[in-house]
Structure 1
């Protein structure tokens, strides 16, 4: 799956509340929450030869860490969505939160933040349980409902997502509720209608802050791209500051530019970003490898990501199954491996992009088999002709 996130904590501070329930119900087509933009960050592509070898180091967990406020931890997690940050930040935040949960009576925010960490690690069932505790303690917490809806949607649970999103009525901004609902509808057979309605609402309502705008614009761009409207999708992303973008937004931008044959632009932009970080994100390395292969000038990033793939496969790392399947579809083309990892990904993530990836892998394998049959038939005919 391609994980997602958004700065809802910031967004909620400026929310206008929807008190007209009938108006909200008229706008809601179904439900969803598209909310976290978490990039697929991973360790360096290296396998240690000795168990005593140090491959990474962080500051030790100490007494000062135990005094971290929940707001500080929230801000710390927010930065995990940017290039090179996820591994360190989510792991450390999890330790902080576990310490708080062990030494005190956790409040709603503690459970919510813990659910965000679990969601990033694809521990979806545990994340849902944490969110249920958060909601039990604070039923009006908008971000908890949104994250709950998002996780249900990732799991292919449309009903659960719908229920979570409808719970926002009377609690959240009407544009936020509608965006949530239309995202779910778009993944439940109503992509065209959902896109048109969200585009209309985006023009109709004022955007309270940059975070809310980025959240909605990314959904619009993704919807447009799924319909084959790459140029229109790009026009949405051009409204955002891409110089300070989360990994998932950069990945979407790259996919759109690659579809428009702007491989050099993707190569130049991402190579500059990736080179500035010691920890390189799978999602960005993969797009770099795809662009580089098309350009045919070097193999630097292809080799780098190949080492990452080797490491992932040795670990049987299902967390990055989406990227592995995409790699075997677009870079080192191996239909059987592409299908294998697409199926692994489908076991835990069932959104449109996951379904499309699985269909592409199946189609490539069928095409490869058909091509081999055609070659064999051609050879047999040639042999018969020579014999006659």
Structure 2
């Protein structure tokens, strides 16, 4: 077994050197947090108005579980703010461990406070250099910021700390953002088939990366095959948004309305990313304006607050739903200030192109 392990490690290093490195958008992709094989993938809790748990009575395990649920529909707004307050109270304790800083970084990442999140992760890693979750999240944030070298280095730091599939997924996602999309997709597909992860959460994370890579290559049917492995009823918002994007690229707008609409309607709090896709699908169908009106109200609120956290969603809204080139470019530029992945660059370029075309059309009138 030791010889096999050595060969795997060497193969991993070779692959990482060749591909350079990865993690997905997504705007909507959240980093995978690997845990034990018997972990429950998702649990649904009823929100209530019971008194808050006192800061000194809640454990890190409880906070971790609380944050984990924040990635599911209708949960983010309720959970991340409260978790941040709990964690800030614990960070005042001189004995804060690596997990405290890691969880705090997850909250900061969600709020697009990327520089602050990196600082928290560096503290986490300094306390425990083998903290796999912290290295993965660090790679993800650097990638979102467009810092390919730092993202690559974070992935390479996983060698000897994580299994080959996890390391390769991290590395190949970085490589895909650095001009090697097709090669990275083929290699990750091969490794995913070869190692067949038994951990459901790890598998979900890699499936999301594969589907995103396929879609970016214009292979929506392949992306759909990957996503068929996912139970949408227990999928996080990022995966649901990707599922909607894949179906819209195949002109299956009615399926987006039916499936995503039914999920969104289950919860009193509606996620911007899902409302946006429902509005886009509805606009293309041209049969009603229910979702467009709903998201328009959300857009008005975001604009009043100058809410840069949702800049990408607003730019897409003014590109594809309520077409207003100047506003689309404004929000695309605001988004580009903090997020610099390929999809963010494409959004910026499309907004500029739309404004230029609009100005040219006015001149010809």
Residue 372 of structure 1: how far off its partner (Å): 2.4
Q: Secondary structure at the match of 1:348?
A: coil
User: Which residue pairs with 1:26 in the alignment?
Assistant: 14
User: Which residue pairs with 2:63 in the alignment?
Assistant: 73
Residue 209 of structure 1: how far off its partner (Å): 1.2
User: Which residue pairs with 1:13 in the alignment?
Assistant: none
Residue 110 of structure 1: how far off its partner (Å): 0.4
Residue 128 of structure 1: how far off its partner (Å): 0.5
The Cα offsets for residues 66-96 of structure 1, whole Å up to 9 and x where unpaired, read as 2211111111111000000001111111111
Bigger CA radius of gyration: 1
Query: Does the CA-based 8 Å contact 2:312-2:335 persist in structure 1?
Result: yes
Query: Does the CA-based 8 Å contact 2:139-2:151 persist in structure 1?
Result: yes
Query: Does the CA-based 8 Å contact 1:146-1:164 persist in structure 2?
Result: yes
Residue 373 of structure 1: how far off its partner (Å): 2.8
The Cα offsets for residues 220-257 of structure 1, whole Å up to 9 and x where unpaired, read as 11011011111111111011111211101010110110
Between the two structures, name the one with larger relative contact order (CA 8 Å, sep ≥ 6): 1
Q: Secondary structure at the match of 1:100?
A: helix
- In 1, the alpha carbon distance for the partners of 2:257 and 2:72 equals 18
- In 2, the alpha carbon distance for the partners of 1:78 and 1:17 equals 32
Q: For residues 252 and 68 of structure 1, do their structure 2 counterparts lie closer, same or farther at Cα, with a shift above 3 Å needed?
A: same
Q: For residues 58 and 37 of structure 1, do their structure 2 counterparts lie closer, same or farther at Cα, with a shift above 3 Å needed?
A: farther
- In 1, the alpha carbon distance for the partners of 2:118 and 2:268 equals 33
Q: For residues 288 and 36 of structure 1, do their structure 2 counterparts lie closer, same or farther at Cα, with a shift above 3 Å needed?
A: closer
Counting only pairs closer than 5 Å after superposition, residues 219-298 of structure 1 correspond to structure 2 as 219-298=209-288
- In 1, the alpha carbon distance for the partners of 2:29 and 2:172 equals 23
User: Which residue pairs with 2:291 in the alignment?
Assistant: 301
Q: For residues 68 and 35 of structure 1, do their structure 2 counterparts lie closer, same or farther at Cα, with a shift above 3 Å needed?
A: farther
Q: Give the counterpart of 1:187 among 152, 166, 177.
A: 177
User: Which residue pairs with 1:148 in the alignment?
Assistant: 138
Q: Give the counterpart of 1:318 among 295, 299, 308.
A: 308
The Cα offsets for residues 28-48 of structure 1, whole Å up to 9 and x where unpaired, read as 1223345999689xxxxxxxx
Query: Does the CA-based 8 Å contact 2:207-2:227 persist in structure 1?
Result: yes
The Cα offsets for residues 19-70 of structure 1, whole Å up to 9 and x where unpaired, read as 8542221121223345999689xxxxxxxxxxxxxxx99555443x422111
Residue 315 of structure 1: how far off its partner (Å): 0.6
User: Which residue pairs with 2:188 in the alignment?
Assistant: 198
The size of the alignment, in residue pairs, is 344
Query: Does the CA-based 8 Å contact 1:293-1:331 persist in structure 2?
Result: yes
User: Which residue pairs with 1:133 in the alignment?
Assistant: 123
Residue 297 of structure 1: how far off its partner (Å): 2.1
Unaligned runs of 5+ in 1: 1-15, 41-55, 377-388
The Cα offsets for residues 271-297 of structure 1, whole Å up to 9 and x where unpaired, read as 111111111000011111111112222
Query: Does the CA-based 8 Å contact 1:19-1:170 persist in structure 2?
Result: no
User: Which residue pairs with 2:105 in the alignment?
Assistant: 115
- In 1, the alpha carbon distance for the partners of 2:363 and 2:26 equals 45
C-alpha RMSD of the superposition: 2.1
More deviation, 186-195/364-373: 364-373
